Chains A and B, each alone.
Chain A
Amino acid sequence: MSADANDGLSRRGFLAISAATLGGVMLAPGIRLIEIAGARAPEQSVSRQVRWGLLIDTNKCAPGCDDCVKACATENGLKDTGHPRTDAQWIRKVELKDMRTGRANSVPVMCQHCEHPPCVDVCPTGASFKRADGIVLVDRHICIGCRYCIMACPYKARSIVFEAITDQNPDVPRGNGCAEGCTLCVHRIDRDQQPACVEACTKAGHNAMFFGDLNDPHSEIAQRVAKYASTQIRADFKLNPGVRYQGL
């Protein structure tokens, strides 16, 4: 009896493997019948099939809590230079209050990783770009520090670095005279980790931030977005941000 069960399992396993193999057969170089999901190898380029996104549950985001902001600063080496008005800011807490009802919200706002990013449209050198998986980045090798992107971003998500920086995190190069903003912790995503803000929020037990692939119907974020009402900030601009807010 047990031998039969084992046989059944192995047969099923064999079928699954052959299906996966058949599905993965290359029709042409780079084009597959079925894109095999899973972790990306280091030598593999990012996929257009993926759309990284964030979901922020504003009902769980407590006013005055800045765990995500602190985690971001630690991870990306954003240090206080003593000039708070000009210090780079990748993520900030915004307090909102509906004056008619008195309902208050506190939400973290960072680069919204738009599908149609205005910062990319205005960049004169091509330094501001969108990666295939939807992450909007600045290529500092090309950035000339003109600040057009800072002007163009409706979310005030871009900053410029005014002072020379030393002792950077080796994974996060930053320097004087370049525009920058939230990278969604791209160096961590490429290692299959979550952004630092999401990790800190979960670790502290707030569970107000979710990160994942919006295109993958099995991911938690995609299921939540499908189940609960969520909004994009200034959706009227039709930029289709990858960051969504629940309960706003």
Chain B
Amino acid sequence: MKTNGTGAFTGRIARAICLLALLLPVLVFASERVPKPVINIDRQGKCVEDSATMRREHPDMLKHQRDLTMHEGIRTRKHSLKECVECHASAKTGSVLGAKGFCQSCHDYASVRIDCFNCHASKPKLASGVKP
């Protein structure tokens, strides 16, 4: 009898530990201790491809387009960086950069350096007559 009681108690502790171990990731993420990228899209409407494709393949699309534009003068708007910036610039800052900027927040999260905007404009062209 006595040994059986100890066994049940140990079993209960083991079960509790297992449950805690299973719940741990849920608890951690629920408490938002891990920073997540901010993805604010102010402009309504659909992107040129679905989100999964865009997340995985946008660097390849941009590289392909840049070579076409630079060397062959093909200036279609679909995969051009200028169009990305047009749509995804924040309504507040007017830029895709900044801590909550569409490009920078994700690239910071993934720890991928973003070189595009050393040369390219991170803000859309202002309509004529509008002052910054």
Contacts and interface: CB of A to CB of B under 8 A. Distances in A.
Interface of A: 40, 42-46, 129, 131-133, 137, 139-141, 164-165, 167-171, 173-176, 178, 186-187, 190-191
A170 B85 CA distance: 9
26 contacts: A43-B76, A44-B74, A45-B72, A45-B74, A46-B73, A131-B72, A131-B73, A133-B73, A137-B70, A139-B70, A139-B71, A141-B66, A141-B67, A141-B70, A164-B118, A165-B119, A168-B120, A168-B121, A170-B85, A170-B120, A173-B119, A173-B121, A175-B118, A175-B119, A186-B73, A191-B75
Contacts of A133: 73
B70 A46 contact: no
Nearest to B132: A167
Given A42-B75, A42-B77, A173-B120, 7 more contacts: A42-B74, A43-B76, A133-B73, A139-B71, A168-B119, A168-B120, A175-B119
A168 B119 CA distance: 7
Interface in B84-132: 85, 118-121, 123-125
A140 to B, nearest CB: 6
Describe A's contact surface by its main secondary structure.
loop
Give the most central of A45, A164, A170, A174: most B CB within 10 Å: A170
B119 A178 contact: yes
B82 interface: yes
Contacts of B72: 45-46, 131-132
Interface of B: 66-68, 70-77, 82, 85, 118-121, 123-125
Contacts of B118: 164, 175-176
A174 B70 contact: no
A188 to B, nearest CB: 11
B71 A129 contact: yes
Contacts of B119: 140, 165, 168, 173-175, 178
6 cross-chain pairs, A with B, having the tightest CB-CB distances, nearest first: A175-B119, A45-B72, A46-B73, A173-B119, A170-B121, A175-B118
